[in-house]
Amino acid sequence: MDQEMVVMEIICNAGEARSLCYEALRLARNNDFDQAQEKLAQGKECLNKAHLTQTQLIEADQGEGKVPMTLVMVHAQDHLMTTILAHEMATEMVALHQQLAA
C-alpha cells in the first residue's frame, strides 16, 4: 500500500464531496431541489469512497501502529471528518430550503 496515494485518495474524494455539498446548497437556494438532491447523492458516493479508503488504512494498521502517522495523514483525516459534517449539514439545509419553499 503506497501511503501517499492512499492519503491523496482520501483528500481528493473528500474535497470533491465537499464541493458537491456546496453546489447542492447553491441549487437549493435557487429552488432547484431535484438537482440539489442529486449533488448530495454524488457527494455521498465520494464520501463513501474516502471512508472505504480510511477503513482500509485502519484494517492495515490493526491497532498496532503499523501505518505511520504523518502530518498529511492527519490532514486527510481532517478533510474527511469535516466533509462528513458538511454533508450532514447540507442535507439538513437543503431539506429546510425545500420546506420553506413549499
Catalytic residues: 75
Alpha-helix runs per DSSP H in 1-102: 3-29, 33-61, 71-101
Range 56-65 contact pairs with CB under 8 angstroms and sequence separation of 24 or more: 56/1, 56/6, 57/1, 57/6, 60/1
Neighbours of 47 (CB within 10 A): 22
Cα separation of 43 and 21, whole Å?
6
